[in-house]
Chains A and B, each alone.
Chain A
Amino acid sequence: MRGDNITTEEQRRQLLEELFEKKKAGKLTPAERFKIPPQPMPEQDHNDRRHNVNEVALGCTETAARLEALRCLQCKNAPCIKGCPVQIRIKDFVAAIADGRYEEALDIIKENSLLPAVCGRVCPQEVQCQQTCTVGVKFKDPTKAVSIGRLERFVADHGLAPRVRGDKLAPAEAGAGTATDEGPGTSLAVAPQTGMRVAVIGSGPGGIVAAADTRRAGHDVTIFEAFHKPGGVMVYGIPEFRLPKAIVQKEIDTVTKMGVKIICNFIVGRTRTIEQLMNEDGYDAVYIGVGAGLPTFMGIEGESLIGVYSANEYLTRANLMRAYDFGKSSDTPIARPKKVAVIGGGNVAMDSARMAVRLGAEKVYLVYRRTENEMPARIEEVRHAKEEGVEFRILQSPKRIIGDENCHVVGIECLKYRLGDPDASGRRRPIPIEGSEFTIDLDAVIIAIGNVANPLIRQTTPALAFNKRGNIIVDEDCKTSMEGVYAGGDIVLGAATVILAMGQGRIAAAAINEYLARKKETAKQPTDRRLNI
Chain B
Amino acid sequence: MPHKIVSKRQLSQDIFTAEIEAPLIAQARSPGQFVIISINNQYAERIPLTIADADAGKGTIRLIWQRVGKTTAELADLQVGDEIANISGPLGRPTRIENFGTVVCVGGGIGSAPLLPIAKALKDAGNKIISIIGAQSKNLLILEDEFRRISDELIVTTDDGSYGRKALVTEPLKEVCQRKAKPDRAFAIGPAIMMKFCAEVTRQFDIPIQVSLNTIMVDGTGMCGGCRVEIDGKPKFVCVDGPEFDGHKVNFDLMIKRLNAYSSQEQQAYEHYKKFSRRRHGDGPGWTTDNG
Contacts and interface: CB of A to CB of B under 8 A. Distances in A.
A241 to B, nearest CB: 20
A333 B265 contact: yes
A316 B41 contact: no
Contacts of B46: 228, 321, 332
Contacts of A295: 223-225
A316 B88 contact: no
Contacts of B71: 331
Contacts of A456: 221-222, 240
Given A271-B90, A295-B225, A333-B269, 11 more contacts: A265-B88, A266-B88, A271-B24, A294-B237, A306-B258, A316-B218, A321-B218, A329-B42, A329-B43, A329-B286, A331-B45
B223 A321 contact: no
B200 interface: no
Interface in A259-296: 263-267, 270-272, 292-295
Contacts of B258: 304, 306, 407
Contact of A327 (B93, B237, B268): B268
A326 interface: yes
Contact of A227 (B91, B219, B222, B254): B219
Interface string B82-101: 00011111110100000000
Contacts of B42: 329
Given A327-B268, A331-B44, A331-B286, A263 B228 contact: no
B265 A272 contact: no
Nearest to B239: A456
Contacts of A321: 45-46, 218
Contact of B218 (A304, A307, A317): A317
22 contacts: A226-B88, A264-B86, A265-B88, A266-B88, A272-B28, A294-B222, A294-B223, A295-B225, A297-B235, A304-B235, A306-B257, A309-B225, A310-B224, A316-B223, A321-B46, A326-B269, A327-B272, A331-B44, A335-B261, A335-B262, A407-B254, A407-B258
A157 B71 CA distance: 38
A312 B261 contact: no
Which of the four size classes fits the interface of chain A?
35 or more
Contacts of A264: 86, 88
B184 interface: no
B181 interface: no
A491 to B, nearest CB: 12
A328 interface: yes
A420 interface: no
Contacts of A331: 43-45, 70-71, 269, 286
A271 B88 CA distance: 8
Interface in B233-258: 235, 237, 240, 251, 254, 257-258
Contacts of B25: 271
Contacts of B222: 293-294, 454-456
A333 to B, nearest CB: 4
A270 B285 CA distance: 32
The secondary structure that dominates the A interface is: loop
B228 A267 contact: no
Closest 5 A/B residue pairs (Cβ): A333-B265, A313-B224, A265-B88, A310-B225, A228-B86
A333 B223 contact: no
Contact of B223 (A304, A306, A312): A312
A229 interface: yes
Interface string B202-225: 000000000000000011011111
A303 interface: yes
Contacts of B254: 304, 407
A223 B56 CA distance: 24
Nearest to A228: B86
A467 interface: no
Contact of B225 (A236, A292, A312, A407): A312
A91 to B, nearest CB: 39
A193 interface: no
Contact of B219 (A304, A316, A407, A459): A316
Nearest to A332: B45
Interface string B18-56: 000000110010000000001001111110000000000
Contact of A293 (B43, B90, B223, B286): B223
Interface of A: 226-229, 236, 263-267, 270-272, 292-295, 297, 303-304, 306-307, 309-310, 312-313, 316-317, 321, 326-335, 406-407, 454-456, 459
B266 interface: yes
A309 B227 CA distance: 10
A265 B86 contact: yes
Interface string B168-191: 000000000000000000000000
B43 A313 contact: no
A184 to B, nearest CB: 33
Contact of B221 (A226, A297, A307): A226
Contact of A406 (B93, B221, B257): B257
Contacts of B45: 321, 330-333
B284 to A, nearest CB: 10
A271 B28 contact: yes
B230 interface: yes
Given A306-B258, A329-B43, A331-B269, A294 B286 contact: no
Nearest to B35: A265
A56 B225 CA distance: 29
Contact of A312 (B38, B90, B224, B285): B224
A304 B225 CA distance: 10
A330 B42 CA distance: 8
Nearest to B254: A304
Contact of B265 (A265, A313, A326): A326
Contacts of A334: 265
Interface string B251-292: 100100110111001101100100000000000011100000
Contacts of A303: 235
Interface string B58-71: 00000000000011
A294 to B, nearest CB: 5
B164 interface: no
A243 B28 CA distance: 36
A303 B233 CA distance: 11
A227 B37 CA distance: 10
B196 to A, nearest CB: 15
Contact of A263 (B1, B229, B251): B1
A270 B262 contact: no
Given A226-B219, A321-B45, A328-B287, A333 B266 contact: yes
A267 B89 contact: yes
A406 B219 CA distance: 26
Nearest to B71: A331
Contact of A270 (B28, B226, B266, B268): B28
| A271, A292, A454, most chain B CB atoms within 10 A | A271
| A227, A312, A406, A407, most chain B CB atoms within 10 A | A227
A292 to B, nearest CB: 8
Nearest to B234: A299
B19 to A, nearest CB: 18
B257 A407 contact: yes
| B25, B38, B218, B262, most chain A CB atoms within 10 A | B218
